Amino acid sequence: MFIDIKSNDGGRGEPYSDVCVSCQRLIEPHHSTEHIDFQTGDEKLTKLNGIYHAKCAVPYLSIKRALDMMNRMIG
């Protein structure tokens, strides 16, 4: 009997692990990661929230730092 199991990793099967938001590859347990959370009302930025490989996260972390600094200056 065939069983179709849906997984949260884009259909790649077990083990069920997280996928990098940037490169869409599996994040293995030994990989270093960064969790990015854009806390704005902008829908485009909230789509970028999630777990990244550490190297994939570098450009997004710089954007987040810049936005955080601007938000502190504004309000």
Residue 10: pLDDT band with limits 50, 70, 90: low
Q: What percent of the chain has pLDDT over 90?
A: 61
Q: Report the pLDDT averaged over residues 49-62.
A: 97
Residue 9: pLDDT band with limits 50, 70, 90: very low
- 20-51 as b/e, with b when 16 or more CB fall inside 10 Å? bbbeeebbeeebeebebebeeeeeebeebebb
Whole-model pTM: value is 0.73
